[in-house]
C-alpha cells in the first residue's frame, strides 16, 4: 500500500511539473481531418490518414456510440477528408461506410438544438452540408435545419474587419472564415487555440501569398501535434494550448480529493499557484493565456488561489454575471451548469453572497437529485461531484439524501461508475469525490453503505491502475468529445488515492459499527 501511495504522489508531482508546455490533449478526429483537408500534401501525411481511418467504428461513424450527439462532427470531417484521397488503402471503403452512417442516422438538429451540442456546431455542421452537396448520395445526408438561424446570427457577428486575437469565434474560424485578413495568429501562432482554425487560416494565407505568419502557424501546428503524444505528424488535438485550464482544473481536483495541501506536492503546487496569481487580471482568465477570458476558468482560478491562501477580489468573475447567473462567454446560447457550480464555489470560498447562484445550481438537478444537463462534459458524474463540493463549502455537516442514494444506485456491478456502457476511471473518481463529501455527515447505516461502495470501487481501480498510463476515453465536450490527458490523469490518480486512504478508514469504521 505504501509503495502504491508513493507511486501516486510521484506521478502527480511529475504531472504538475510538466504543466509548462502548453498542455497535453488527446488526438482529435475532427481537427486532424480538417487539418489534412486544408494541408493538401497527401504524400507527407499518409500516417495521419491511416490513423484517421483506424479510428472509424464498425458502424461507419467516428466517435463513441454511447454519445451519438457527438458523432456527426467527426464523421462529416473524416468523410470529407478521405473522399479526396480514395486511392489510399482503406479510404474508399471508409468513405462508403461513413456515407451509409450519415444517411441512416437521425438528425439531432432537425427540430431544435440540444443544450449540450458540441462547440461551434451551428457553424460547422451547416458548412459540412454545403461541402457535401456534390458527393454521391448527398441528397440523403442530414441537413441540420435547426442550426441555420444560429449560423446566420454567428456569421453576422463575425462580419467585422478583424476579430481581436483570442476572440471565442476564432475557435471555429475554419467554419466561417473566408479571408486571412479576418483573423491574425496569436502569440503562440494559433487562430483561436484551434488546430482546425489555424490549418484553415494557413491554407488561405498561402493562397494569398506567403507571409511570415504562415511559418508561425506551421510551428503552432507542429507543437499542437506533439501535445497529443501520438507521434504521428499531422495528428492534432481538439484544442491547444490549455495552459490555464490544465493547471487550474488539476489543482481544483487535488482539493476534491484532499490532496491540495499534501506536503509531497507542495512545491509543484506553489509554482502553479504563483503562475495563476500572476496571470489573473481584472478581466479574468480563459483556458489559455492568449484566449478570451471566461467565467469557468476565472471561477476555478479564484477557487485555487483562495485555497492557496491568495484571496483575490471577485470583480473579475462579476464581468460574467447576468442577473443571478454567470455566462461562460458573453453571448453564449445557453448557460452552463458547471460554470455556475464553479462560480458558486468561488463565491462561497471568498465569503460572498451567492443565494441566486445557489438556487440555480439546486434547481438544475434531475428528478434523482443529480446534475446531468451539462455543456462542457458528457458525464453527469463531473458536474455532480463539483456541485456537491460547492454546495457543501462552509457547511461541514452538509448532506443530500437524494444525491447520495442516486450515486450509490448508479454504481455498476463491476464497482465503477460511467455514463456510457462501461465504467471509466475518471468517472469513478468523480463519484468518490462526491461520496467523500457526504460521508462525514452520514449516520452509521449510511456510512456502511458508503464504505461498501468505496471498497468495490477500490477493487475495480486497483485492477486497472497502471503507472503513467495515458487516459484514452474522451468525455469532455469540444467540437467533438476530447480528452485533456493530464487533467483526466490527475483525476484518476486523486480518485485512487482517496479510495486507498479514506476507503481504508471507512472500511475499518464500518466493520467496527457492524452488528
pLDDT in tens, 256-307: 999 999 999 999 999 999 999 999 999 999 999 999 999 999 999 999 999 9
pLDDT at 135 over 90: no
CB 273 within 8 A of CB 251: yes
Bigger pLDDT: 444 or 490?
A: 490
Residue 24 lies in a domain: no
Average confidence (pLDDT) over 423-443: 89
CB count in 10 Å sphere of residue 42: 15
Whether residues 43 and 7 fall in one domain: no
CB 467 within 8 A of CB 11: yes
Residue 345 lies in a domain: yes
Whether residues 48 and 159 fall in one domain: yes
Q: What is d(CA 183, CA 201) in angstroms, rounded to the nearest whole number? A: 8
Residue 334 lies in a domain: yes
pLDDT (tens digit, 9 = 90+) per residue, 370-394? 999 899 999 999 999 999 999 999 8
C-alpha cell at 271: 509554482
Last residue of a domain, which of 174, 199, 227? Answer: 227
Whether residues 8 and 36 fall in one domain: no
Bigger pLDDT: 160 or 170?
A: 170
Percent of the chain at pLDDT above 90? 80
Which CATH number characterizes residue 222's domain?
A: 1.50.10.160
pLDDT at 396 over 80: no
Residue 235 lies in a domain: no
pLDDT (tens digit, 9 = 90+) per residue, 68-109? 999 999 999 999 999 999 889 999 999 999 999 999 999 999
Provide the domain count of the chain.
2
pLDDT at 512 over 60: no
Residues 6 or more apart from 153 whose CB is under 8 A from it? none
Residue 236 lies in a domain: no
Residue 23 lies in a domain: no
Model-level pTM greater than 0.85? yes
Structural domain boundaries, residue 485: 2-18+242-513
Whether residues 248 and 141 fall in one domain: no
Residue 1: the pLDDT is 59
Residue 334: the pLDDT is 87
- Give CA angle at 280 (273, 223), nearest 5°: 75
Which CATH number characterizes residue 14's domain?
A: 1.50.10.20
Residue 513: the pLDDT is 47
Whether residues 256 and 368 fall in one domain: yes
Residue 284 is classified by DSSP as: B
Residue 154: the pLDDT is 86
Residue 503: the pLDDT is 66
Count how many Cα atoms sit within 13 Å of the Cα of residue 450 in the half-sphere of its side chain: 28
Tell me what the pLDDT averaged over the chain comes to.
Answer: 93
Whether residues 152 and 84 fall in one domain: yes
Residue 136: the pLDDT is 77
Last residue of a domain, which of 180, 199, 227? Answer: 227
Whether residues 436 and 463 fall in one domain: yes
Residue 419 banded pLDDT, cuts 50, 70, 90: very high
Cell 496571470 found at = 279
Whether residues 6 and 98 fall in one domain: no
Last residue of a domain, which of 202, 227, 252? Answer: 227
H helix or E strand, kind and range, residue 322? strand 321-322
Whether residues 366 and 502 fall in one domain: yes
Lowest mean pLDDT among 53-67, 196-210, 451-465: 196-210
pLDDT at 509 over 70: no
Whether residues 220 and 264 fall in one domain: no
Bigger pLDDT: 294 or 508?
A: 294
CB 487 within 8 A of CB 253: yes
Whether residues 13 and 33 fall in one domain: no
Residue 238: the pLDDT is 97
Whether residues 298 and 361 fall in one domain: yes
Residue 440 lies in a domain: yes
Residue 514 banded pLDDT, cuts 50, 70, 90: very low
pLDDT (tens digit, 9 = 90+) per residue, 238-250? 999 999 999 999 9
Residue 356: the pLDDT is 94
Residue 503 lies in a domain: yes
Amino acid at each position: 500500500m505504501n509503495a502504491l501511495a508513493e507511486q501516486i504522489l510521484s506521478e502527480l508531482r511529475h504531472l504538475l511539473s510538466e504543466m509548462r508546455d502548453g498542455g497535453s490533449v488527446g488526438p482529435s478526429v475532427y481537427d486532424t481531418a480538417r487539418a489534412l483537408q486544408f494541408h493538401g500534401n497527401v504524400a507527407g501525411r499518409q500516417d495521419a490518414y491511416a490513423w484517421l481511418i483506424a479510428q472509424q467504428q464498425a458502424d461507419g461513424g467516428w466517435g463513441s456510440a454511447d454519445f451519438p450527439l457527438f458523432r456527426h462532427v467527426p464523421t462529416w470531417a473524416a468523410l470529407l477528408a478521405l473522399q479526396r484521397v480514395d486511392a489510399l488503402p482503406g479510404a474508399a471503403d471508409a468513405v462508403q461506410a461513413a456515407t451509409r452512417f450519415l444517411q441512416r442516422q437521425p438528425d439531432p438538429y432537425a427540430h431544435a438544438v440540444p443544450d449540450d451540442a458540441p462547440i461551434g456546431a451551428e457553424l460547422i455542421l451547416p458548412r459540412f452540408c454545403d461541402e457535401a452537396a456534390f458527393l454521391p448520395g448527398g441528397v440523403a445526408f442530414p441537413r441540420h435545419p435547426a442550426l441555420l438561424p444560429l449560423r446566420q446570427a454567428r456569421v453576422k457577428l463575425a462580419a467585422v474587419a478583424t476579430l481581436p486575437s483570442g476572440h471565442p469565434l476564432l475557435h471555429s474560424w475554419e467554419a466561417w472564415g473566408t479571408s486571412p485578413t479576418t483573423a491574425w495568429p496569436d502569440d503562440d501562432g494559433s487562430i483561436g487555440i484551434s488546430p482546425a482554425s489555424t490549418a484553415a487560416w494557413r491554407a488561405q494565407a498561402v493562397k494569398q501569398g506567403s507571409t511570415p505568419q504562415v511559418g508561425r502557424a506551421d510551428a503552432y501546428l507542429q507543437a499542437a501535434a506533439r501535445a497529443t503524444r501520438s507521434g504521428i505528424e499531422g495528428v492534432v488535438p481538439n484544442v491547444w494550448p490549455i495552459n490555464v485550464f490544465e493547471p487550474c482544473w488539476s489543482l481544483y481536483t487535488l482539493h476534491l480529493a484532499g490532496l491540495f495541501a499534501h506536503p509531497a506536492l507542495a512545491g509543484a503546487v506553489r509554482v502553479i499557484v504563483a503562475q495563476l496569481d500572476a496571470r489573473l487580471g481584472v478581466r479574468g482568465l480563459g483556458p489559455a493565456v492568449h484566449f478570451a477570458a471566461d467565467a469557468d476558468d476565472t471561477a476555478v482560478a479564484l477557487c485555487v488561489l483562495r485555497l492557496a491562501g491568495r484571496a483575490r477580489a471577485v470583480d473579475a468573475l462579476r464581468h460574467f454575471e447576468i442577473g443571478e447567473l454567470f455566462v461562460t462567454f458573453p453571448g453564449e446560447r445557453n448557460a452552463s451548469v458547471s460554470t455556475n457550480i464553479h462560480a458558486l464555489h468561488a463565491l462561497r470560498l471568498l465569503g460572498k453572497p451567492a443565494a441566486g447562484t445557489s438556487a440555480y445550481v439546486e434547481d438544475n438537478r434531475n428528478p434523482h437529485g443529480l446534475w446531468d444537463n451539462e455543456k462542457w462534459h458528457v458525464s453527469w458524474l463531473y458536474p455532480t461531484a463539483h456541485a456537491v463540493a460547492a454546495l457543501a463549502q462552509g457547511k461541514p455537516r452538509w448532506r443530500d439524501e437524494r444525491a447520495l442514494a442516486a450515486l450509490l444506485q448508479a454504481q455498476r456491478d463491476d464497482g465503477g461508475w460511467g455514463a456510457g456502457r462501461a465504467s471509466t476511471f475518471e468517472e469513478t473518481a468523480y463519484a468518490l469525490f462526491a461520496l467523500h463529501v457526504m460521508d462525514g455527515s452520514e449516520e452509521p447505516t449510511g456510512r456502511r453503505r458508503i464504505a461498501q461502495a468505496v471498497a468495490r470501487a477500490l477493487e475495480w481501480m486497483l485492477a486497472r491502475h497502471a503507472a503513467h498510463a495515458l487516459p484514452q476515453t474522451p468525455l469532455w465536450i469540444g467540437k467533438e468529445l476530447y480528452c485533456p490527458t493530464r487533467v483526466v490523469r490527475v483525476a484518476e490518480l486523486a480518485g485512487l488515492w482517496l479510495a486507498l486512504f479514506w476507503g481504508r478508514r471507512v472500511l475499518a469504521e464500518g466493520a467496527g459499527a457492524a452488528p
